[in-house]
Amino acid sequence: MTNSNILLVDNCSADVESVKKAFSEIGIKSTLHLAQNDAEAWLMLQGENKISPIPKIVLIDINEESVNGIHLLNKIRVHPDLKSILVFVITRTDNDKNKAAALNLNIAGYMHKPDESEKITDFFSILNDYWNIIEFSSEKK
C-alpha cells in the first residue's frame, strides 16, 4: 500500500505524535494526513482541502471530545466515492453505543489504543502488515 494516503482523525496531540512516530519507525510509506475533528476530516475528503487521491484508510477516534465520528462515518458510507474506504476506529475509551453504531456502519475494525509507545509501534506494525496483504481498488479518484 505504498504511496497512498491515510487520514487520521484525532484531536489528542500526544496520540497523533505517537502514531506519527510509529509510522516512521515501521517505515510506512503512505502519507499520513491529520484532522482534528469530523468537520476538518470531511473537508479533506470532499471539501476545499480535498486529499488526492482519496485516502484508502481512515483511522478515527470516535470517542474523542469534539469529534463526531458517527456523523462522519455516516457521511462516508453514503457517499459514492468514499463508501469503500476502510475505516478503523481506534480509541482508549469504552462507549458501547458508539461501538455498536460504528460496527453497524461497516467499519474494518474497532480497536483499543495501546497505552505504551512500544506497544503502539507493534499495534501499527500489525495493521501495516494487514494493509499490505489486502487488495484495494486501483481506481483513481
Interacting residues of 116 by C-beta distance below 8 A, sequence separation 6+: none
Q: For the segment 16-70, what is each residue's pLDDT rounded down to a tens digit?
A: 999 999 999 999 989 999 999 999 999 999 988 899 999 999 999 887 777 788 8
From 127, 123, 91, 87, select the one nearest 103 (Cα to Cα). Answer: 87
Give per-residue pLDDT as tens, 2-22. 678 999 999 989 889 999 999
CATH code for the part of the protein at 5-133:
3.40.50.2300
Kindly report, residue by residue over 62-103, the tens digit of the pLDDT. 877 777 888 999 999 999 999 999 999 998 888 898 889 999
Separation between Cα atoms, residue 48 and residue 21, nearest integer Å: 28
pTM score, whole prediction = 0.90
